[in-house]
Amino acid sequence: MKGSDLFVKCLENEGVEYIFGVPGEETVDLTDSLSRSGIRFIVTRHEQSAAFMAEVYGRMTHRPGVCLATLGPGATNLTTGIADAHLDKAPLVAITGQSGLEKTHKESHQYIDIVTMFKQVTSWNSKVMRSDFIPEIIRKAFDIATDRPGAVHIELPEDIARENSSKQPLLRKIHPHITMHDEQDLKKAADMIRESAMPVILAGNGVFRGAAANELRRFVRSSGLPVITTFMGKGALPADDEQYLGSMGIKDRDHIMCGLEIADLVITVGYDYVEYSPRSWNPDGSKSIIHINSDHPETDESYIPDLMLLGDIRQALYKLNQQSGLKKEMPERFKSVRSRMVAELENYKDDISFPLKPQKIISDIRECMSRNDILVSDVGAHKLWAGRLFPAYEANTVFMSNSLAAMGFALPAAIVASFLKPEIKLVAVAGDGGFLMNLQELETAVRLGCSFVVVIFNDSKYGLIEWHERRQFDQSIGTEFTNPDFVKLAESFGAKGARIETAEEFRPQLREALDAGGVWILDVKVDYSENIKLTEALKNNICEI
């Protein structure tokens, strides 16, 4: 069979359901082979969106998402999405076409060395030099993307796609990961918890990668330990659980830092250094740390664990939970941290000022969603408000680009979440800047029959950058722009739109849109003067608890 047919059979062997991408001349053999496959090729309007979609597929299913682009500009357009998956440790396999091998040693039309370029944003990548190598390369790519979650890349030159091969896909054997945590280490961890006066759990993205949320909840119920999450860890513990203190992620000295400041032992569970630097919560390196994760942590003087339980996070928590005498009462000082974070959202739920306060928008969105519904956030000032205040109750119900913080993420992410979970309601929040970066995917969403609402925080500015500029220089430079009519824009793509004119209109309109189904855009004017007010309020934040 020809190489492209073998390539597709190997993808089928790996259980690939979808490939997101944009076709090109150098990938025509591959797309032709896909046309005779059970794999669904989902055409996107930009390669960056295809990579974001593959990333979110990986995050939701824990299986590698796959994206496809042609050579040159098609491949370079994938870079942001691949890098996002790489830093957020989402399993992703990127496939790019390339000129025939006879052109790669000299200056050729559209040729650049993509394999070398992608080395910085992937865990592994390879050019297919012979069609016979395809089974081994694909098997290795999926192994690495799954076992060391992140992005990998395969380049398939057009002449190799046409080259015949007698090879077949490799037999795929699933070997369970068995981690035998040392009993002495488990006993030491239990002793550290018993002896600690103010222990706290810091839960991150790895809790979801390791499907460990339920085990974490059991451990928290039996131990009574308080929990702080990163933005990526939201939903690891329900927001209405009395042990949940809140989420951390902004650079200002937020209320949640009081909880970490008084802690004498931090038990990190699935916490990745890239989610939020330990220098922000352990600047002098004085806190005792128990590191529970699938792999070794990044080396940093503010993060030197006293004990590491490496491997399967679920098993580590299960084994730790079997240690006796871990039950602790949560100190009143931790309860004060929780009450401050809860009160901040509650204080704005009845605010009727217009433009709407970001806290009010977040509160209204939460009121219109059930516990299992999904929130997707783009990157901008709204992300910090959602990350701080949006109450998440279940695992994998909040998705955002965090480690790379890439604008344009929300719309592609919402598309994938919508067709993977059509039974849930979904809201995507985006700034007017970030939304316009991938707005072309509105056509993709409508074509695929998706159902979700995009709430645009409209301030006609790059609001997050203005926030930083005003905080440092007391002025804003180069952040203002004009916007299109978002309602007419939505309608031009076959979606629906509504402009919110008063605070009282927003919640009923959002409910109507969610109930009606289809793709909706809600244009909401936001009062981002709250950004600087928050900075000022937190500037002299003292842990008077």
Query: Locate tokens 């960056």: which residue?
Result: 48
Residue 41 dihedral angles phi and psi, to the nearest 5°: -90, 115
Query: For residues 530 and 507, is the Cβ–Cβ distance under 8 A?
Result: no
The answer to whether the predicted template modeling score (pTM) of the entire model surpasses 0.75 is yes
Per-residue pLDDT of 189-211, as tens digits, reads: 999 999 999 999 999 999 999 99
CATH hierarchy code of domain 3-162:
3.40.50.970
Query: For residues 464 and 524, is the Cβ–Cβ distance under 8 A?
Result: no
Range with the largest mean pLDDT of 166-175, 397-406, 524-533: 397-406
* Residue 534 vs residues 149, 214, 458, 460, 516: alpha-carbon distances, Å: 36, 34, 19, 20, 36
Query: For residues 464 and 417, is the Cβ–Cβ distance under 8 A?
Result: no
Query: For residues 66 and 95, is the Cβ–Cβ distance under 8 A?
Result: yes
What is the percent of the chain where pLDDT is above 70?
A: 94
State the average pLDDT over residues 46-63. 97
Structural fold of domain 349-537: Rossmann fold (3.40.50)
CA distance 294 to 148: 9
**5 pLDDT above the threshold of 50:** yes
pLDDT recorded at residue 545: 45
**108 pLDDT above the threshold of 80:** no
State the average pLDDT over residues 218-231. 94
**273 pLDDT above the threshold of 90:** no
Per-residue pLDDT of 298-340, as tens digits, reads: 888 999 999 999 999 999 999 999 987 788 888 877 878 888 7
Torsion of CA 224, 225, 228, 230, to 10 degrees: -100
Distance of CA 537 to the CA centre of its chain: 29
CA distance 90 to 414: 16
CATH hierarchy code of domain 183-337:
3.40.50.1220
**527 pLDDT above the threshold of 90:** yes
pLDDT recorded at residue 533: 80
User: Which residues sit opposite 497 in a β-bridge?
Assistant: 521
State the average pLDDT over residues 437-457. 98
Instruction: Enumerate the CATH 3.40.50.1220 domain ranges in the chain, comma separated.
Output: 183-337
Per-residue pLDDT of 493-520, as tens digits, reads: 999 999 999 999 999 999 999 999 999 9
Q: How confident is the model at residue 253 (pLDDT cuts 50, 70, 90)?
A: low
Angle among Cα 370, 49, 429 to the nearest 5 degrees reads 35
Instruction: Enumerate the CATH 3.40.50.970 domain ranges in the chain, comma separated.
Output: 3-162, 349-537
State the average pLDDT over residues 70-82. 96
State the average pLDDT over residues 347-367. 94
Query: For residues 360 and 351, is the Cβ–Cβ distance under 8 A?
Result: yes
Q: Which two tokens stand for residue 267?
A: 């038990």
Query: For residues 477 and 465, is the Cβ–Cβ distance under 8 A?
Result: no
What is the percent of the chain where pLDDT is above 90?
A: 74
CA distance 238 to 234: 8
**236 pLDDT above the threshold of 90:** yes
State the average pLDDT over residues 538-542. 66
Query: Across the chain, what does the average pLDDT equal?
Result: 92
Range in 110-114, 282-286, 363-367, 513-517 the model is least confident about: 110-114
